[in-house]
A and B are shown apart, each in its own frame.
Chain A
């Protein structure tokens, strides 16, 4: 068992985490991310499940489905899913769609 003195020695020897430095530019990015955080958010799988319906609704100019705001806010936050949505919208321009 480690005594309090040993723990103090470990702490003093630098095993604790180094202080985290934040720059103003990092704060600006993180601040935006935190400010838009919701208790309930769609995760990537939720968005993927509905992405085809969402893309067609956007193409029709239909914004009625109750889940659409949750998808929009996820797309604002997640560049990976946003890329898939944008690619899908481009694909839908094809005559076969």
Chain B
């Protein structure tokens, strides 16, 4: 680590686009820098110094070097070269990490309906008065109808998976065989559709949420448990 020589952006590009010893030395230095950066960057996901972290950092750095060399002409010099290189390596490492974490979960399992779906009435605050309960039930039914009318079945399933169950978009995109970017755009379209429809219905989101103010909206399990 201490033997790396410091380079500015131009020196990195020059060394990496050269041949022979200069390129080899730059690649070796960059690899060491990436491994070190990934070990820091991935510490929130994997135990520091764990074999998984060490192995992922090594593999992702190796793959990043190949990608960096192939995309060197896209580096615009608007950041430090090493920051740009970290970005490339981190994308590779986190994509691989998500792939491993979700490899045993099928697309159907990712998109399957929530366990509490269909039980919305049972999670209304039991301490709310009858009028409030009716108002809340009507509002939930209305929102459910709007979701159903505005979104395709697939859009709805994806919104549930990503927004409600925390399935990473990258993991879902991998299973669907699409880019994460395409999935984000699809979700954006869905959110826009819902926002416009709510506006057409004259519904202010603040008012919708206010219907449930004072109620425990953290999920059925907690409400039921706390009502005793």
Contacts and interface: CB of A to CB of B under 8 A. Distances in A.
Interface of A: 17, 19-31, 33-35, 37, 39, 41, 43-45, 48, 51-53, 55-56, 78-80, 83-84, 86-88, 90-94, 96-97
B90 A79 contact: no
Contacts of A97: 37, 80, 82-83, 86
B67 interface: no
B163 A30 contact: yes
A91 B208 CA distance: 42
Contact of B94 (A19, A41, A51, A87): A87
B143 A22 contact: yes
B163 A33 contact: yes
A25 B123 contact: yes
Nearest to B78: A53
Please report whether the interface of chain A is mostly helix, strand, loop or mixed according to DSSP. helix
Tell me if B's interface is mostly helix, strand, loop or mixed: helix
B47 interface: no
Contact of B86 (A27, A34, A86, A92): A92
A41 B179 CA distance: 17
A62 B34 CA distance: 25
